[in-house]
Amino acid sequence: MAFNYRRIIIKIGSNVITKANGLPDTERIAHLVDQIAAIKKQGKQVILVSSGAVASGRSLITVNDKHDTVGTRQLLASIGQVKLINTYTHLFEQFNILCSQVLVTKEDFRDRLHYLNMRNCLELLIQHGVIPVVNENDVVSVTELMFTDNDELAGLIASMLNAEALIVLSNVDGIYNGDPKMPGSAVITDVTNEGLDVSAFVSTGRSQFGRGGMLTKATIAQKTAQLGIAVHIANGTKDNILTDLLNNNVTHTRFVPTKKASGKKKWIAHSETAATGIVQVNDGAKTALTSGKASSLLPVGILEILADFKKGEIIKIVDDRNKIIGLGMAEYGAEKAKEWTGKQNKRPLVHYDYLYLQG
Ligand X SMILES: N[C@@H](CCC(=O)OP(=O)(O)O)C(=O)O
Q: In the set 52, 180, 257, 277, which binds ligand X (CB under 6 A)?
A: 52
Q: What is the 3-state secondary structure (H, E, C) of 208-260?
A: CCCCCCHHHHHHHHHHHHHCCCEEEEEECCCCCHHHHHHCCCCCCEEECCCCC
Q: Is 161 exposed, middle or buried (0-12, 13-18, 19+ CB in 10 A)?
A: buried
How would DSSP label each residue in 274-316? G--EEEEE-HHHHHHHTTSS---B-GGGEEEEEE---TT-EEE
341: CB partners within 8 A, 6+ apart = 299, 302, 303, 304, 305
**Cα distance between residue 21 and residue 59, in whole Å:** 10
Q: Applying CB under 6 A, does 77 fall inside the site for ligand X?
A: yes
CB-nearer residue toward ligand ADP: 149 or 319? 149
The residues with which 99 forms a beta bridge, in sequence order, are 131
For the chain, the residue count is 359
Q: Which range in 65-73, 140-148, 166-174, 328-336 contacts ligand ADP by CB under 6 A?
A: 166-174
Instruction: Name which of 160 and 172 has its Cβ closer to ligand ADP.
Output: 172
Q: Is residue 319 near ligand X by the rule CB under 6 A?
A: no
Asked if residue 57 binds ligand ADP (CB under 6 A), the reply is: no
Binding status of residue 355 toward ligand ADP by CB under 6 A: no
Q: Which of 87, 135, 280, 341 binds ligand X (CB under 6 A)?
A: 135
Of 1 and 200, which CB lies nearer to ligand ADP in the complex structure? 200
Which range of residues in 122-130, 145-153, 245-253, 351-359 is near ligand X by CB under 6 A? 145-153
Minimum distance from CB of 83 to ligand X (Å)? 11
Angle at 169 between CA 165 and CA 173, to 5 degrees: 110
Residue 201 engages ligand ADP in binding (rule: CB under 6 A): yes
Rounded Cα–Cα distance for residues 264 and 305 (Å): 24
Based on the shown chain and the rule CB under 6 A, indicate whether residue 170 belongs to the binding site for ligand ADP: yes
Q: Closest separation between CB of residue 13 and ligand X, Å?
A: 3
Q: Does 228 bind ligand X (CB under 6 A)?
A: no
Binding mask 98-137 for ligand ADP (x = CB under 6 A): ----------------------------------------
Interface with ligand ADP (CB under 6 A), residue from 172, 225, 242, 246: 172
Positive or negative CA dihedral for 306, 307, 308, 312?
Answer: negative
- Residue 210 interacting with ligand ADP (CB under 6 A): yes
If one asks whether residue 262 binds ligand ADP (CB under 6 A), the answer comes out as: no
Distance CA 154, CA 148 (A): 11
Q: How many residues bind ligand X (CB under 6 A)?
A: 16
Q: Which of 24, 52, 213, 301 binds ligand ADP (CB under 6 A)?
A: 213
For residue 162, what are the contacts with CB-CB under 8 A and spacing of at least 6? Answer: 7, 263, 266
Q: Which is nearer to ligand ADP, 214 or 349 (CB)?
A: 214
Segment 12-51, which members bind ligand X (CB under 6 A)?
Answer: 13-14, 51
Binding window for ligand ADP (CB under 6 A); candidates: 56-64, 133-141, 212-220, 238-246: 212-220
Distances (CA, A) of 174 to 63, 167, 228, 253: 34, 11, 20, 5
Beta bridge pairs of residue 131: 99
- The entry of ligand X, ligand ADP, none near residue 205 (CB within 5 to 8 angstroms by kind) is ligand ADP
Looking at residue 28, the DSSP 8-state letter turns out to be H
Classified as helix, coil or strand, 40 is helix
Measuring CA to CA, which residue among 334, 322, 324, 323 is closest to residue 355?
324
Closer CB to ligand ADP, 192 or 203, in the complex: 203
Binding site membership: which residues? 11, 51, 138, 150
Residues placed in the known binding site for ATP: 11
Q: Which residues bind ligand X (CB under 6 A)?
A: 13-14, 51-54, 77, 135-136, 138, 149-151, 210-212
Q: Which residues bind ligand ADP (CB under 6 A)?
A: 13-16, 149, 151, 170-172, 175-176, 180, 201-203, 205-207, 210-214
